[in-house]
Chain A
C-alpha cells in the first residue's frame, strides 16, 4: 500500500517537473537546468566516441599497417599538390580582394575551417540534429555553418544551435525548424530552403513563371545569413504542383550530402580580427 502511495507521489512529482520543462522551455531556470543536464550527460557520447575511436585505431593486422603506409605515401604526394593549390587559391583571393576593392564591394568575412567528429545521433530524430565533439573551447559560435564532405562533394548540412565547452548540437537543414536562403544559379532564382523532418528539403518562394529541370543544382545564396555563398545544398528532385492560392512555386531538393552518413563535419568559424 505504501509502495503504491510512493508511486503516485512520484508520478505527480516527475510529471510536474516534466510539464514545467515542456511549458517553459525558454525560461532561465529551465535553460540552466538543461545546461546542467548537458554538462552531466554529454561526457558520455564525448568520451565514448573518443574510446571507440581509440579502439578502432588499433591495427588488426600487419596488412592494415602496410595499407596505411601506402595511403600515407599517396597522401604525402597529394599534400605536395595541395601546397601548390593553396598558393593558387591565395593568389586568387588577393586578386579577388583587389577587384572587390576597385568595385567598392565590402570584403567577405574570413572564416576558418574546423573539423569535428559526429559523436551522437538519435534514431527517430535522424534528420533533425547531430552532436559533434567541438565547442566553445574550439572557438565555435552559435549559428556557425556546418558543411559535410561525402564522395568529394561539399554540401551544406546545418548550423550550430547549442554549444558546450567541448560539444555542440547541429540543427540539420532537414529539420522542420531549419531554413536557409538558396538559389538556382542557372536562372538566378532565389528561394528559401526548408527542412521537412525527412531526408528531402523543400525550396519555397520561387517565381511563378520559373521553369525547372530535375537534377538542377541548388546553392546557398549570397543573401544567406548563416552560410557562405555558393555552397551546394542539393539537386531538384521534384517540382510540386502549383497552388492557385499561392504566388510562388515550390520544388523538392535532395540534399547533396546526407547528414545521416557523415562521420565528421566541417564547421566554419568566424576569423577573429587581429
Chain B
C-alpha cells in the first residue's frame, strides 16, 4: 500500500508537470512542478524520499530534453539532499516560508543548470530574463498548495523515510 501511494504521487507529478507545461503555459512560462514537489517531499519526509523522487523525476525531465542528459537528475537529487538534510534547521512549516524557500531554490536551480551547461556543453542554455525572474515567483506561489498536496498524498505512508 505504501509503495502504491509513492508510485501514485510519482506518476501524478509527471502527469501534472507535462499537462501544465503543454496546456497551461502563461506566455510560454510554466512552473517547475517537479522541482517544487521534490522540495515538498524532501522537506516533509526527509532526504531519502526526496532524493528518490528528485532523481527519477529528474530523469523524466532529462529524457524529454535534448541537452544535458542527467543534469536535472543531478540537480534535483542535490536539492532534495540539501533540503532534506537541513530541514530541521529550516522553517518550512508556514506557506510564506515555503514560498520564499522555493523561490530562492528555483533561482539557484537555474544558475546551477546554466553552470552545468557551461561545464558539459560550453553553453549556458540561457532561458531568458522572463523565465529567470517569473518562474521562481510562479514556483513560490504554487509551493504552499503543492507542499500540502504532497503531504496529504504521502501521509498514509506514516513515518518519514
Contacts and interface: CB of A to CB of B under 8 A. Distances in A.
A175 interface: yes
Interface in B1-54: 14-15, 18-19, 21-23, 25, 28-32, 46-48, 51-52, 54
Q: Chain B's interface: helix, strand, loop or mixed, by majority?
A: helix
A123 B30 contact: yes
Contacts, number: 156
Q: Chain A's interface: helix, strand, loop or mixed, by majority?
A: helix
Contacts of B160: 3
Interface in A136-177: 161-162, 169, 171, 175-177
A147 B128 CA distance: 25
Interface stretch (B60-68, B93-101, B148-156): B60-68
Given A124-B135, A131-B64, A198-B128, A18 B70 contact: yes
A21 interface: yes
B116 A45 contact: no
Interface in B115-138: 116, 120, 123, 125-128, 131, 135
23 contacts: A3-B46, A3-B160, A4-B47, A10-B52, A14-B55, A15-B77, A17-B70, A18-B55, A18-B70, A21-B73, A22-B69, A22-B120, A25-B69, A40-B63, A41-B59, A48-B15, A123-B29, A123-B135, A126-B29, A126-B127, A128-B67, A131-B64, A260-B28
Given A10-B51, A124-B113, 8 more contacts: A10-B52, A17-B55, A18-B55, A121-B25, A122-B64, A124-B32, A124-B127, A126-B131
